Amino acid sequence: MNELLENYILADGTIISISLGLEYQFTSNSPVRQAIIQLAVRKRLSPTKWIPCQIQLQFHQLCRIKVLEDFSSASYSDIVLKQLSDTTWYLSLDPFGNTGEPHEQDNLVIVANQLTLKEVI
């Protein structure tokens, strides 16, 4: 997944949609608990050429979400996406500061055991 992500620039991406499936009757690692995020980003065509594209990040087996949204800001986002040391995936669509690293004050956070990425046509 990390190699695949090297072909996309997520910084300065645009949030298109966020869909959450929060099934409370299942265990915390249930594949039914999921988040699907669609983003407008840039894709590498060559070492020096990038084109706009849309991707869909599908998070399964959600461990944690943190959402405080008043819809007052634009859909533009400095996106942080990292695989943590415990192998879970961390996404923040509203990170605190510009470090590119997870921070306890990040917002719009999703942490999950599994992540798949597909390009939207």
Q: What is the pLDDT of residues 58-74, one digit of tens each?
A: 999 999 999 887 776 66
Extended beta strands in 22-106, E state: 34-46, 49-66, 76-77, 80-83, 89-94
Global pTM value: 0.85
pLDDT digits (tens, 9 = 90+) for 19-39: 998 877 666 566 678 999 999
In 3-state terms the chain splits into helix, strand, coil percentages (rounded to 5) of 5, 60, 40
